[in-house]
């Protein structure tokens, strides 16, 4: 009986959580919610596709580890490289125009990917075309939507709410990513069992989900246009604003340390490259590890982690706890209701002894999004507390700590992989049944690293970059990310070697990057 009510109950909890956020962060510009929801829709589609993409390459085209690695990493490379082009075009033609064009191009790309053409050469050409459209569309959409969000806070009345606003925006991204793996698996199972499609063809139904998600994103963007209309700049206005900024800057004292700032940022970019190389193994070698080395079933309380409803209940408890201590009135009441109902929900979701939950590799990818959403308020509270005591580490130190934490994740995987059989890099067969908890913990540790490095790094760029080079330096961040994503393929080419070599290599890379940034920490702290 409870199982039938569980989904409506979690939907109700989600509604309470949304109300809590709205009340807790009142005073935010209305346009934030429109742009955040539009981005949630787009990210949900992207991560639904990404959750199964590397498995699709093997099952549909017979790609071995090397070819799959190159395809995956090249796709990610262009996804993060093309926002630089998107920003340049937006400066000339307007941010909103590029956002609209971008999302339409994305839709075309997902539409091509959703057509089941088999494993023939024409199908391969179609896939490449689809990936190019998705990459280009993302490049036009991704960075420019974030610029529009930032422009919402240019007004003095919202200036002090910029940080909390971007926290909400970042959380919205990960809410979309949280549901993506479950959506991909569910629709693929439905296509195979109800429509009698083969496993290889069922992947296209997951890509079709991305199409629908992008349509929802388009509708949200246009229906809520009135809420952000004031930040839409025409090319003429953009030029005038730029000229005005140049005049103002010309009256300022010359920045004697411009060169030093650029050098420091480039040094940070070098570290960022290797972080994303290690982190984005979640879509490649870690997915293969889940598929080939991790047990395909789970029992007991541990199995509850693989139901997205239970993860949401855990998120509600965390936010409810913060709400009780940090809010008053109705938000505090909603917080208490969230906690009580969530605990009741989780108690009733405890499986009976001996009941097995079937696991598939893509499901592990919802953990990063879940942990980001869950840990963000904890991270903000921790550094806020340290800041009040005057002990909050500077951004470069946090980045270095992020690399050490990433190294710790791969150290754990290295130790736990000792004595495991070699993978069949060509056939991707299941060779071992390691505990799913191992991979879950790896995702948890890598998420800690992400929260220390990714948002902090972007903040560091915006703070340190000289005024006249801010756009270029932000582009440099994306380029570094793109290069890191291209290097993701290196461990993929190593797949089939002893796992301790694969994970150990990533561990050493992260350690060396950490040692490098700590060796120049005084130089970086000087400009931060």
Query: Do 372 and 500 reside in the same domain of the chain?
Result: yes
- Mean pLDDT for 176-200 is 89
Query: Do 52 and 189 reside in the same domain of the chain?
Result: yes
Asked if 23 and 319 touch (Cβ cutoff 8 Å), the reply is no
DSSP designation for 495: B
Q: Which residues contact 486 (CB under 8 A, 6 or more apart)?
A: 73, 74, 76, 77
Q: Is residue 246 a part of any domain in this protein?
A: no
Q: Is residue 92 a part of any domain in this protein?
A: yes
Classify strands 356-358 and 297-299 as parallel, antiparallel or unpaired: antiparallel
Is 383 a residue whose pLDDT tops 90? no
DSSP designation for 433: -
Task: Give residue-wise pLDDT tens across range 36-53.
Answer: 889 888 999 998 998 889
Query: Do 272 and 179 reside in the same domain of the chain?
Result: no
Q: Which two tokens stand for residue 161?
A: 């709410």
Q: What is the pLDDT of residue 247?
A: 44
Query: Do 234 and 278 reside in the same domain of the chain?
Result: no
Q: Distance (Å, rounded) from C-alpha 253 to C-alpha 120?
A: 62
The burial of 251, by beta-carbon neighbours within 10 Å (0-12 exposed, 13-18 middle, 19 or more buried), is given as exposed
Query: Do 277 and 183 reside in the same domain of the chain?
Result: no
Q: Which residue has the tokens 């956020």?
A: 21
Q: Is residue 153 a part of any domain in this protein?
A: yes
Identify the top-confidence range among 217-221, 242-246, 411-415: 411-415
Query: Do 271 and 183 reside in the same domain of the chain?
Result: no
pTM of the model: 0.79
Query: Do 377 and 503 reside in the same domain of the chain?
Result: yes
How many Cα atoms sit within 13 Å of 442 on the Cβ side?
30
Asked if 65 and 492 touch (Cβ cutoff 8 Å), the reply is yes
Look up the CATH number of the domain holding residue 498.
Answer: 1.20.1250.20
Query: Do 278 and 131 reside in the same domain of the chain?
Result: no
- Which element (helix H / strand E) includes 528? none
For the chain, first and last CA: distance in Å? 57
Q: Which residues contact 92 (CB under 8 A, 6 or more apart)?
A: 235, 238
Q: Is residue 318 a part of any domain in this protein?
A: no
Query: Do 109 and 48 reside in the same domain of the chain?
Result: yes
Q: Is residue 451 a part of any domain in this protein?
A: yes
For residue 104, what are the domain limits? 27-239
Q: How many domains does the chain have?
A: 2
Task: Give residue-wise pLDDT tens across range 277-318.
Answer: 999 998 889 999 999 999 999 999 999 999 888 988 888 888
Q: What percent of the chain has pLDDT over 70?
A: 88
Q: Is residue 332 a part of any domain in this protein?
A: no
- The SS3 call for residue 421 is coil
Query: Do 291 and 228 reside in the same domain of the chain?
Result: no
Query: Do 273 and 198 reside in the same domain of the chain?
Result: no
Binning pLDDT at 50, 70 and 90, where does residue 1 land?
Answer: very low
Asked if 152 and 228 touch (Cβ cutoff 8 Å), the reply is yes
Q: Which two tokens stand for residue 424?
A: 């069949």
Q: Which residues contact 202 (CB under 8 A, 6 or more apart)?
A: 187, 188, 189, 191, 192
Task: Give residue-wise pLDDT tens across range 460-485.
Answer: 776 787 766 766 677 788 889 889 98
Task: Give residue-wise pLDDT tens across range 355-377.
Answer: 899 998 888 988 988 898 888 77
Q: Is residue 325 a part of any domain in this protein?
A: no
Is 236 a residue whose pLDDT tops 50? no
Query: Do 140 and 278 reside in the same domain of the chain?
Result: no
């Amino acid at each position: 009986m409870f199982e039938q009510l569980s989904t409506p109950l979690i939907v109700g909890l989600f509604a309470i959580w949304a109300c809590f956020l709205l009340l807790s962060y009142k005073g935010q510009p209305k346009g934030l919610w429109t742009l955040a929801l539009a981005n949630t829709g787009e990210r949900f589609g992207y991560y639904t596709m990404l959750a199964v993409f590397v498995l699709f390459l093997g099952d549909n085209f017979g790609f071995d580890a090397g070819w799959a690695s190159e395809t995956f990493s090249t796709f990610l490379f262009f996804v993060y490289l093309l926002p630089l082009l998107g920003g340049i075009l937006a400066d000339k033609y307007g941010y909103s125009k590029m956002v609209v064009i971008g999302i339409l191009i994305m839709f075309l790309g997902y539409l091509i990917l959703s057509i089941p053409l088999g494993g023939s050469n024409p199908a391969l050409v179609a896939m490449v075309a689809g990936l190019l459209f998705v990459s280009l569309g993302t490049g036009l959409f991704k960075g420019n939507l974030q610029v529009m969000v930032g422009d919402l806070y240019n007004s003095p009345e919202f200036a002090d709410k910029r940080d909390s606003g971007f926290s909400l925006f970042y959380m919205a991204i990960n809410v979309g990513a949280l549901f993506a793996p479950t959506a991909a698996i569910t629709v693929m199972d439905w296509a195979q069992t109800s429509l009698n499609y083969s496993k290889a063809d069922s992947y296209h139904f997951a890509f079709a989900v991305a199409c629908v998600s992008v349509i929802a994103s388009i509708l949200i963007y246009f229906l809520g246009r009135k809420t952000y209309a004031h930040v839409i700049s025409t090319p003429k206005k953009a030029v005038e604003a730029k000229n005005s900024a140049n005049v103002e800057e010309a009256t300022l004292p010359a920045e004697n340390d411009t060169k030093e700032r650029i050098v420091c940022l480039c040094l940070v970019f070098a570290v960022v490259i290797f972080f994303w190389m290690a982190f984005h193994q979640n879509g490649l070698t870690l997915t293969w590890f889940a598929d080939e080395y991790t047990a395909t079933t789970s029992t007991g309380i541990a199995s509850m982690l693989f139901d997205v409803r239970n993860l949401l209940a855990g998120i509600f408890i965390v936010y409810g706890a913060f709400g009780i201590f940090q809010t008053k009135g109705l938000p505090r009441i909603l917080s208490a209701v969230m906690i009580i109902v969530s605990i009741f929900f989780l108690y009733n979701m405890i499986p009976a002894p001996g009941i097995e939950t079937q696991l598939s590799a893509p499901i592990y990818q919802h953990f990063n999004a879940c942990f980001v959403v869950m840990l963000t308020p904890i991270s903000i509270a921790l550094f806020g507390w340290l800041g009040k005591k005057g002990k909050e580490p500077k951004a470069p130190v946090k980045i270095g700590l992020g690399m050490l934490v990433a190294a710790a994740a791969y150290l754990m995987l290295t130790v736990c992989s000792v004595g495991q059989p070699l993978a069949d890099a060509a056939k991707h067969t299941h060779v071992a049944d390691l505990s799913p908890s191992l991979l879950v913990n790896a995702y948890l540790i890598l998420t800690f690293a992400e929260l220390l490095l990714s948002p902090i790094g972007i903040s560091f760029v915006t703070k340190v970059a000289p005024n006249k080079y801010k756009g270029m330096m932000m582009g440099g961040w994306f380029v570094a990310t793109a290069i890191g994503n291209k290097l993701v393929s290196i461990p993929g080419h190593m797949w089939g070697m002893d796992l301790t070599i694969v994970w150990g290599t990533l561990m050493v890379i992260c350690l060396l990057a950490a040692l490098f940034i700590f060796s120049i920490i005084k130089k970086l702290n000087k400009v931060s």
